[in-house]
Amino acid sequence: MKDQQTIVIIGGGFAGIELAERLLKSEYDASVILVDKNNYNFFPPLLYQVATGFLDVSNISYPFRKHFRSEKKFSFIMGELQEIVPGDNKIILNCGEVFYTKLILATGTITNYFGNKSIQENALPMKTISDAIDLKNKILERLEKASKISDEELRAKLTTFVIAGGGPTGVEVAGMLSELRKDILFKDYPELKNAAFNIYLIDGLPNILAPMSKESQQYARKTLEGSGVIVKLGQVVKDYIDGVVHLADGTSIPSENLIWTAGVTAQKFNGIPEESYGKGNRLIVNSFNKVIGATEIYAIGDTCIMTSDPAFPQGHPQLAQVAIQQAKLLARNIIAKHQGKGRKPFIYNDKGSMAIIRRNRAVADLPGPFKHFNGFFAWLIWIFVHLMSLINVRNKITTFFNWLNSYITKDQPLRMIIDPSKK
């Protein structure tokens, strides 16, 4: 048909999935092509539970083709974006070329090592499913190794964990490792009952959970320290060489386990002019999420920065809710424009933020008269919100029963080393 449009979405995270669903459920006559380097969607806020053996990969991931199976106007391409050719309305993937009417970049972020090659090569990131699986394997392999050696110095390095980054992910990893130490480690590894198993949480800022309220920051730190986590603030990891974490103040921590959650950055794409990028390589967009200096190219979620929202003149926080809300409005605006109707500029509705610390302990900053919650009630809110945010009913049910089993038994039988790279 003459008016048939082709909407190409790069990235199947929160923003990409939400946009595709909204467009496909409407009466808008357009084909939707989703491009992603993986063939599945996954839920990043629960990666740390996969990495520590408390959830299975299948609990937080789901295949794109299965999810959109009933949608006749949908197609999926497993591939990576290599170049955008705006003059031809074309993208070049590692597996071919695709033409578009509108291109939406929803590529999220990647781990930022701040240019330190040694950290990049030796630290353990936690940004993808592969990262989480690798981290779990490394933790278990090092515990197995530590259980067999008599060298106390090496054993201490193998059982010491340093987490760089005091944001929600770093706090959640530290809390989960403290639970592993308290409830599971010495049952599975009686040989390690005298091992150090020190857990360090390091951040360059004066407080952990920097975007959250002072009450949440203080409660989280007190809870972690009460669980035996060593919190070092106002410190940054300067280097990581030969199993030793070097801090900026000249001190060091011998450890074979540097878990890197210290920062993210957006990606740059060939074909997009340099002036279209802002802080953190985020694409500069107007109030309708259109990329500045481009035609029919949009960006949503973590990969973009918008300064037109009066409440967020420096850009929105890189949170799931921002991505979802931008996707919803962009779908509405694309349809409205096609129908000759007016569009609405994006205004973020801040629904608050939360972080889990450990069993029965979480913090939540919510809008309204009761702005701050902590402890068991905040933990229940966190559980409910994250269950409801999973992509489908199957994932909700399996995750709930995994959590229920873990809560009752204070254990989880998912600590298997499964490494496909090993023949």
Which residues are identified as catalytic? 172
Residue type, 91: I
Least Cα distance to 183 among 53, 289, 312 occurs for 53
Least Cα distance to 176 among 45, 60, 54 occurs for 54
CB 299 within 8 A of CB 278: no
222: its two tokens: 């007190």
Pairing of strands 81-85, 90-93: antiparallel
Q: Which residues 6+ apart lie within 8 Å of 83 measured at CB?
A: 91, 92, 269, 270, 271
**One-character DSSP codes across 26-68:** SS--EEEEEEESSSEEE-GGGHHHHHTTSS-GGGSEEEHHHHT
Query: H or E segment at 246?
Result: strand 244-247
What is the sign of the dihedral through the CA atoms of 38, 42, 45 and 49? negative
Q: What region does 290 belong to: left with phi over 0, alpha with psi -120 to 50, or beta?
A: beta
Neighbours of 242 (CB within 10 A): 8
Q: Which residues 6+ apart lie within 8 Å of 235 measured at CB?
A: 202, 203, 204, 247, 248, 249
CA separation for the pair 51, 134 (Å, rounded): 8
373: DSSP letter: E
Query: H or E segment at 191?
Result: none
Give the 3-state secondary structure of residue 225.
Answer: helix
230: its two tokens: 């060593």
404: its two tokens: 């229920």
Edge-to-edge strand order for the sheet containing 124-125? 124-125, 257-260, 161-164, 199-203, 229-233
